[in-house]
């Protein structure tokens, strides 16, 4: 499977849709608009953070199972990113370190269970695509998509959270070694608004997939 990664507002969902249409494969999306816990988390991170991460963990595991029928199926967020997100919440005292440690152990145990499943499952992607955007672009995208609970005007403390998140994603991608990976500069290639940029990004992905033997 192909898995997208990147911070809030990077364009993961848009690129997932574009790639699925381009490759004739299945797109599997993160549960956001129909997520009953996400707005509660933004109102009270300390109370709902651990619950939210477990909700996402369950949904992402479902996506991995659902993506097994084709190496070109696309998931719009990696299951391994959640550890980064929840550790940031713990470091910023939006969750406890005990909760972060329990979540990390739970993730490891679930991935181990996938390894020992009676059905052969590919838990790691054939390719991870990271969309890198600047902090300024990230803020503009968050404002543009208009989810009230994500807005800095709604909660000024989110400014520091978003800034830390953007910085940590770059370090996370540098250290990521579970699969081949591709970095796309989301500032240089605004594939959502610019058709030429979209074509260039699709070409980059095609070339990488051919090198990996995933696309003939």
Q: Are 53 and 85 in contact (CB under 8 A)?
A: yes
| Residue of 76, 153, 160, 185 marked catalytic | 76
Residue 203 annotated as binding?
no
**Residue 144, annotated ligand binder?**
yes
List the one residue out of 174, 135, 149 whose CA is nearest residue 52: 149
> Annotation-wise, does 79 bind a ligand?
no
**Residue 184 CB contacts under 8 Å (≥ 6 apart), including other chains:** 15, 129, 130, 131, 132, 191, 201, 204
Using CA atoms, how far residue 154 sits from 37, 98, 111, in Å, is 17, 28, 36
Q: Tell whether residue 87 is among the known ligand binding residues.
A: no
| Bridge pairing between strands 181-185 and 127-132 | parallel
CA-based torsion, 154, 159, 164, 170: positive or negative: positive
Q: Is 53 annotated as a binding-site member? A: yes
Q: Where do the DSSP E strands lie in 36-173?
A: 74-75, 127-132
Q: What is the distance between the alpha carbons of residues 124 and 1, in angstroms, rounded to a whole number? A: 8
User: And the tokens for 188?
Assistant: 């240089």
Q: Is 196 annotated as a binding residue?
A: no
37 is in an annotated binding site: no
150 among annotated binding-site residues: yes
Residue 76 is a catalytic residue: yes
Residue (of 211, 212, 204) closest to 22 by Cα position:
204
Distance, CA of 21 to CA of 19 (rounded, Å): 5
The answer to whether 168 is a known ligand-binding residue is: no
Binding-site annotation: residue ranges for substrate: 30, 42, 53, 77, 82, 150
The binding site for ATP comprises 6-14, 141-145
What are the catalytic residues? 76
Annotated binding site: 6-14, 30, 42, 53, 77, 82, 141-145, 150
């Amino acid at each position: 499977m192909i898995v997208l990664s990147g911070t809030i507002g990077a364009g993961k969902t848009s690129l997932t849709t574009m790639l699925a249409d381009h490759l004739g494969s299945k797109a599997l999306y993160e549960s956001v608009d129909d997520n009953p816990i996400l707005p509660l988390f933004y109102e009270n991170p300390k109370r709902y953070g651990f619950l939210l991460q477990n909700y996402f963990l369950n949904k992402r595991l479902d996506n991995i199972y659902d993506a097994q029928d084709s190496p070109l199926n696309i998931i719009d967020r990696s299951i391994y990113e959640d550890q980064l997100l929840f550790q940031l919440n713990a470091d910023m005292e939006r969750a406890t370190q005990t909760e972060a440690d329990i979540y990390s152990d739970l993730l490891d145990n679930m991935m181990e269970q996938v390894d020992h499943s009676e059905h052969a499952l590919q838990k790691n992607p054939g390719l991870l695509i990271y969309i890198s955007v600047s902090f300024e672009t990230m803020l503009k995208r968050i404002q543009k998509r208009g989810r009230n609970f994500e807005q800095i005007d709604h909660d000024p403390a989110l400014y520091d959270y978003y800034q830390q998140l953007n910085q940590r994603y770059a370090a996370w991608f540098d250290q990521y070694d579970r699969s081949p990976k591709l970095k796309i500069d989301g500032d240089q290639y605004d594939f959502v608004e610019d058709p030429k940029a979209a074509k260039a990004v699709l070409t980059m992905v095609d070339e990488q997939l051919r090198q990996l033997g995933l696309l003939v």
